[in-house]
Structures are given as C-alpha cells and as structure tokens.
Structure 1
C-alpha cells in the first residue's frame, strides 16, 4: 500500500510499532485475498445446491444465506480472523498514540494559536445514544470519549487506524471518498459551478472535508461532528496541512445554522452510522439549510440492492460483527422516499455512483469500498438549477 502522508499531527511509529502495523496490514490482506474467496466457493458448490433442492428455489436474501453459512466452520474461522485483525489494528495504532500523545496535544495547541480556520465546541451538546452505545468499528472508546483536558486521542487513533483498516485504499490522506465525489460527480455534472458555502456533515477528522478546500478555493467550508476529541484533532490536522476549515461540534439532525445557509451540503459514510429516524432528520435538516437551487450529496458504500445476495451477505458482516449496528439497516432503506418526505421534489433526486480507483489486490466480497464505486444520494433544493452566483 502507498505510504500515509506524514503530516505534523500523525504519530510517528518506532521500528517495532511500524512492524506491528505492517503485520496487521499483511494479515488483513491475506484474509481478504486468500481466505475470503473460499466462502463463496463453499456456498456455491455445496450449500446453495442443497438449499435449491430442498426449497425449489435459490436463497433470496443475505439473511437466508447467513442461516446457511453461520453453521460452517470455515466461515466462522474467517469471521474470527477478521474480528481479531480488527482488534489487533487498534492495539497496534494505540502503541504509537499513547507514547506520543502529550507531544501531539502540545502541537495541537500551538497550531491553534496561528490558525487560519476555526474550532467551536459545545460542552452541553448531548451526543446521541446511537453514537455512544457501542465503540464504532471496535475502536476503543469510539470517536467521542475524552480522558483528559483538550483530548485529541480519538482523532489521532482514527486517522492512522482507518488507513490500516482500508489497507491504504483511501489514499495517502484517506481522502479518496471526498475526491471521488468531487472529481467523478460534482466536476462532471457541474463543471462551472463554484459554491460559496459548503457544509460537511459528520466530518470526523476531516479526511473527506479537505478536498473541497482545494476544489473550491473561494468557498467557505464548514464541517460538523458530535465528537469533541475528533474535532480538535480534525482542526489541528487541517491547520498542519494548511487548509482553512471551520469546524464546530453539532448534531447533523439539528444544527444552529440559519435557514438557506449553504450552496452545497455533503456527507461521507455518515448515513450508516445513524438509525432510520435520524437519517430522516438529517435529510430534513439538509433541506432547511440549503439555499434555493443548492445541492446535497451523501456518499456511502454500495447498497445491497446493487449486489447479488451472497455479496450482500458478506458485506453485512460489518453489521453483525464490527460494531456497525445500522450498517445493514441503512442499506435497505427506501432513501428516495425519505428524501421526498424531507421536502425534496422527486424530479430533483438522484441516486448514482462515483467511481473510485481500485487496485488489483481488492476483492468483490466483504471489503470496505470494494465494489469500485461509492453510492451517492443527491438532491437539489426546489426546482431551481444550480447557478454560479448562488
């Protein structure tokens, strides 16, 4: 995999720490390329024919396939290896984070004194229970936990951890999703559009936020998240990379921005972290915040309807085993109906894809972003076309 960009806020591993992280990467790659494909072989050659004979039809959903596969020792072994590799990933990253955290926190404070962007936190904000109930992605403490004043540990951990989790497929700055939305959707569909105000919902550490700063250099870029330690790190990271972003601690369901504040609202793998009622609230909030003619674009990993049942079953491993309780539920929602209920007109709603670059070691089954495209839910506010002078 390509090396991650070593910016000022990223921990520098020792020789042994890096060796542990590289071992985790190699283990994950081995599981994905050498072990995972045999699950499909077992299903297609043995389990599916038996099911077809007994029921006079093939399995129709990932749930039916799970009932078959979860009795298979090979599949259970594969799942145990994936879960173990995920836990090893965080442990390998935390060795570097814990050793360098005081230095990184001091650097974060220093960057704030000469900031070109801003950071606004809200100590009274209630982090939603669907965010705090589990440690998402099995990351210890999740995105929101704080253990010291001005804590940034969650953000530091996530920056390095998601790079290893995706095995480098998100690029040296973990920004492949934002780049895909911009280059393979926005710039293709609206090549002359220059939005003046942009909002990124659920920005975490700003991986996908920063590409908008480069793509639209005259725009004011705002980014929100509910997790204070992640936002502190996001702000310091953006400053270290010389990108002007205004971060604030807010819930995307209900923000404090004024009506009709933004030309473009985006999110990147936010929707699957929220239950259906929260997704409905987020879409309504987007409608409130967009200027007439403005655009929202929500990027996600592929939906199950675009997969064969076995691929959907493998993809749904995240729901069952990786502390992603809403991963599967979100992918089976009628997102168009929810967008209509949020106030958008049917003719202004688009469901499409934005391509991402794939490398030869990526598989079709059970990998993050592995199908070669990001799913996009996009909608214009009202029927007015996008104008450059919004």
Structure 2
C-alpha cells in the first residue's frame, strides 16, 4: 500500500538535494522567520501608516495619499516600514544562502542523478546558442544568484536544485509537497470555466523546474505536455525530476517570445508566475506568439497575484514591495495589466479575454495563511489571479 503524502512537507524525489541536520535547521529557521515577518511584523505597517505616515503626508501636501504610489512616498522614510523591509530583504538573501549550501556540497552527485534517464519517456532539448533575454541577464530575478540561466559546471543542475527548495521555503510550505499549487489551481479554473476543453498538446511557458507543469499530465492524461524555459540548468533539473516522478514531459530551451513550434500546434498554453518576470515588450510578444501557436478555440492562461486595481490602495502598496526591493523590476507593471487590452493588442478578440480569482487547491490543508496579499508572502492569501484569452 502506497504511503500517504504529507501535504506540509516537500516530497523527497531523487534529485532534491539532501540536507544534513545543520542545513535542515537553517532552512527551517528561514521558513519560520518568513512566516513570522508575514504574520506578526508586516501588519504593523498599516498601523504605522494610519497613525503616523499618512497623517504626515497629508500635512505636507494638503491631502491624504490617493493611491499606492502616494502611499509609497508617504511610507518611504517611515522607520517601521524600513525596519520590516530590511528584515524582509535579509530573509530573502538568507533563504538563497541556506539552499545553496547543500547544493554546492552535493553538486557532483546531483549532476550524476540529473543525467540518469528514467522510463517516463520525456525528452530534453537544449540550445547552447540561444540568446538569454536582456531582462534576465541584467538582474538576478528575485535575488536568486545567477538567475535561471547561469551554468556553474558542465551539465549543471545547481540553480534548478536551488530553486526547487527555495520555492518551498519562500512559500512557507503552502504550495503543496510538489510546489504545484499554482498549476493545480489554474487547472481547477480551467476545469470549471472551460469544461469542454480537451487539449491534444499543452505548452507551459517559463516552466523552470516543472512545479506547475507536471499537474497537467494528470489533469489531461491524453495530452502531450511540453515545457519551455530560457535556463538550461533549470531544464536539466526539470527533466530529471519529471523522470523520477514518472511524468512524460517534453522540455526544451526556448524563449517564449518566439518558439520553433508550428502554427496552431497547441490547444492550451499556460504560464505560472511568468508574466511578472518579463518586460512590457516581451509580455506582448509572448501573447502574440501564443496566438500563433494556438489552434482555433484554444486557450492561453497566465497565473499571477492579483492586479492592483483589485486591491485597496494600501494592500496594493504592500504587494508592490517586490518591485523595488526584491529584484523584480517588472512586477509593478505586470500588476497593471488588463486582459482585454492585452488581447486587443496581440491578435485576440477582447470579447474572448477573461480574468478571475481562484482559491488555492491547497487552501483547506493549510492553517497558517495570512489571507492577505503582501510583499514577501507569496501565496499567503490562498488565491491566484488568472487571466488570458481564447482564440
């Protein structure tokens, strides 16, 4: 009889780095610190705003802050906000350090495991000549050293391994044992809103290590599943992980702005937290490419945290923290997107654009969510914003 999977512990597949006691304790400390900051320290920012910063701004300008931009100006020099912000940034850097140590210690073993082929039947195609987009080369997104694309060794899987464990810590264990919450939740939205969709082929754009890719293998068992990313190390890791978990996925190193797939090849195109890591221009190129790749009636859907227009101004300010403090330069602009407008710009019928909030499929299994959207508390609200269009 197969043992039950612990929903609050990351699943130990073959390529996940093993930790010794001190390493595991350090990682657990970072996870606990992040939860403490999100649940106990972050709420003090609203008190500081209401009691001090908002009033000071109104006295200086003659009116209260009208939007999240003005709230940011009001809070910029507030000592409590600066205190929380510094702790939040430090927790992020501590997280990367904590996961890098066991990866570095065991990298040769991880590379060997990564090169072992399983029986799942998936494929991996890399392109060493592919140009990494400038918007990834110029900044380590979310402070991850080397980003998704940097190789530190031959056949490297290091940053795949680092990302896999870090996502679990960053989300404080609230995205399920496979870190698959966003994919599972997006699938729930698709099943509810596009019940007749029977995709033959599915593409996950910006798949990284396949956290949200693999759920589509089970949700649509008759479909061929493909995943693309710009990073070779994360794709090597994704392929090894999928093989070990018995899931057949075809991974390839490609830029989602322009792929080598044929016109109309896919019936479903998905992305999970890709949008906020691409530039204004790139996002529109990606949607144009999605339009080219989709068959008639096919669907493209992106999952993110909610647009700022859906939040009250102070909550939008708190969620915007990542834009300036977590190496997420495109975060803010991505949260201003209106799905119908993007559809109109990129070849889709705006009348067939959609958006919505979907409750996390793991929400009922977790008791430690803050139930708010705020910087440094990824997934803490227990909901994901999905938007897209049907061709």
Bin of the TM-score, shorter chain as denominator length: over 0.9
**Structure 1, 42-51 or 58-67: larger mean CA deviation:** 42-51
Q: How does 1:193-342 map to 2 (within 5 A)?
A: 193-342=197-346
Q: What is the TM-score of this pair, normalised by structure 2?
A: 0.94
- 1:372 Cα deviation from its structure 2 partner: 3.0
Q: 1:280, 1:339 within 8 Å by CA — same for their partners in 2?
A: no
1:68 aligned to which of 62, 74, 78: 74
- 1:299 Cα deviation from its structure 2 partner: 0.8
Partner of 2:21: 15
1:148 aligned to which of 148, 153, 157: 153
1:177 aligned to which of 174, 179, 182: 182
- 1:370 Cα deviation from its structure 2 partner: 2.9
SS for the counterpart of 2:218 is: helix
The Cα offsets for residues 321-363 of structure 1, whole Å up to 9 and x where unpaired, read as 1111100111123442121111111221111122114444322
Q: 1:302, 1:369 within 8 Å by CA — same for their partners in 2?
A: no
SS for the counterpart of 2:303 is: strand
2:99 aligned to which of 67, 75, 93: 93
Partner of 2:4: none
2:363 is the counterpart of 1:353: no
Q: What is the TM-score of this pair, normalised by structure 1?
A: 0.94
**Structure 1, 74-83 or 365-374: larger mean CA deviation:** 365-374
**Structure 1, 156-165 or 327-336: larger mean CA deviation:** 327-336
How many angstroms apart in 2 are the aligned matches of 1:84 and 1:226? Answer: 28
Q: 2:53, 2:78 within 8 Å by CA — same for their partners in 1?
A: no
Partner of 1:139: 144
How many angstroms apart in 1 are the aligned matches of 2:94 and 2:24? Answer: 13
How many angstroms apart in 1 are the aligned matches of 2:313 and 2:296? Answer: 40
Partner of 1:29: 35
2:390 aligned to which of 380, 385, 388: 380
Aligned length: 379
How many angstroms apart in 2 are the aligned matches of 1:216 and 1:335? Answer: 25
- 1:54 Cα deviation from its structure 2 partner: 5.3
**Structure 1, 95-104 or 150-159: larger mean CA deviation:** 95-104
- 1:48 Cα deviation from its structure 2 partner: 2.2
- 1:107 Cα deviation from its structure 2 partner: 1.1
Partner of 2:166: 161
Structure 1, unpaired ranges of 5+? 382-390
- 1:58 Cα deviation from its structure 2 partner: 2.9
SS for the counterpart of 2:109 is: helix
**Structure 1, 351-360 or 317-326: larger mean CA deviation:** 351-360
The Cα offsets for residues 106-129 of structure 1, whole Å up to 9 and x where unpaired, read as 1111126x4510000111100101
2:369 is the counterpart of 1:362: yes
**Structure 1, 188-197 or 294-303: larger mean CA deviation:** 188-197
The Cα offsets for residues 154-198 of structure 1, whole Å up to 9 and x where unpaired, read as 100000011101101111100000000112x11112334321110
Partner of 1:110: 116
**Cα RMSD (Å):** 1.5
Partner of 2:381: 371
